A and B are shown apart, each in its own frame.
Chain A
Amino acid sequence: MARYDSIVIGGGLVGSAVAYGLARLGSRVALLDEGDVAFRASRGNFGLVWVQSKGLGVPEYQRWTRQSSVLWDDFAVELKKETGIDCQHEHRGGVHVCINENDFAERRKYMEQLHIESGETSFQYDMLDHAELKKLMPEIGPEVAGASYTPYDGAANPLYLLRSLHAGLIRRGGQYFPQSKVTELKAAPNDFTVTGGGVTFNAPKLVLAAGLGNKDLGALVGLNVPVQPVRGQILVTERVQPVLSMLTIWVRQMAEGGLLIGESREEAGFNDATTPDVQQFLAARAIKMFPFLRDVRIVRHWSALRVMAPDGLPIYEQSKEYSGAFVATCHSGVTLAAAHAMRYAKYVADGVLSAELARFTNKRFDVQAAA
């Protein structure tokens, strides 16, 4: 039996960020991962470090997201220094494009509400009409009504981030076990024995970061994790010369030159197929935003399953029955990666989740269940 200080189940963006964070605090970490073909929400991530659309009605979420976006600056530098891998992090603000006047009016109301709810953290934003937007982005389409802008938004390369977190974990003495889907889990307070890939691991701390798999795993440690899949599809284009002047929602250009075009939100169960109707919808919307895209080819059409709680917020919790067992799920694995590595991991190491995460307790679902 292999003994560690912490076992993290799930080698995606959440699991590897938490594992890296624990390792950098000196914990001896075993990171267990599935095989090469699995749902892996992380591979379908758009890669935004997005603040301006988060947390309407939930100021705690807005704060957690903003905090992560601030931590990201140092986080990216640290990962580059640690692993040599550049996550291509940019933090120069972002634009949420409003296709028509109706969207623009709705968006203005939305942003104003976020501003009011932000209180002393003072969420700042600008509404840009078509002419103002065109000054910043000459490539914007003539039909676009305008956009909202905040300086808080940024982006990174989700695949390089994942690779970097894995490399960083190993450099800090952590161990990565692929092809090790959990087949058995025996729990006692601060004492967890996990078998995966034919190997048995034991540690006083356990973190469930297995995405959609958290539901079943959670049940074994007294944690209710009611996550459901919400499908998202993304189109990827061939490489082109730099052409987008600003970071926008739904269409972004990666450092290599290819553009990502997203995204859909579908209830499709555990089906990660791609569909022609969404393909056509995404293409049409992208062309409306940036008419030059008409002649650009797509080389891939992805689909992945978001890990979604009923209210769309993260779930952070420690098991009451089995102290030392934690869960972390969200659908913004890149945005929150810095917070997961630099904050959440510390709470796990200390054995108690901070009050700032109280809003994300899974007890909020008990009320719903009782109702």
Chain B
Amino acid sequence: MSAEELKVNGNGNGTIAPLQNVALFTSLVRRTVNRPGHLPGMATFHGYSGYGKTFAATYAANKFGARYIEMGESWTKKKLCASILTELGVQAQARTVSDQMDQIIEALAIDGVPLIIDEADYLATKGLINLVREIHDKSGAPVLLIGEEGLPGALSKWERVHNRMLDWVPAQPSTLADAKHLARLYCPHVSVEDALLEQITEAASGRARRICVSLERVRELASVEGLDSVGPAQWGKREFFRGQPPARRK
């Protein structure tokens, strides 16, 4: 491996910041945090499953000290409030939803950090979105909703919610540039040829998660065969990762 390759690939501890969706979400959070006072501070980051939305969101969450909850299918108002309070570190939680809302609003108003709600589709299906709007209105804290492709459509039914949105940002399918950066992060000691990365990206249909699994296989191949560099010739007729198994790795 040349010195130049070592410099590019030799550091396994790079950040995910250059990935397209990471840049999109980080910019979105920055805009909600720095918005002028008269603008609303809610936003969506939405897209198909597997685009790596949550993975992409970790960078901004850490940069801005965001609080994060992931909604569940069975969630009620009470569960939503209790989960937010726990995530905010409020020890003595009030008994009723309305008192819990006061606690959430007070804590978020003091902290001034963004609140990220993942699987936000459930906010629409469960009719809990107005609770979130109230939290945003009264605390002034930015609220980022992460969800599926249909999230904006589902939320636009509520006009008052619609008016609170600073922006609706669609997550993007992974590109070759993303695959190259993922190769730097996931195969730090292997040089992966562009031709192979192109094939991996195409087989993944833009799903970042699938690219990572394929790259993991490249890393294993390189490790087993003692290769410094892997391209279509070394890869041969092996399969790329296309489908969605129950777990990412065996």
Q: Do A and B bind each other?
A: no
Interface of B toward A, CB cutoff 8 Å: none
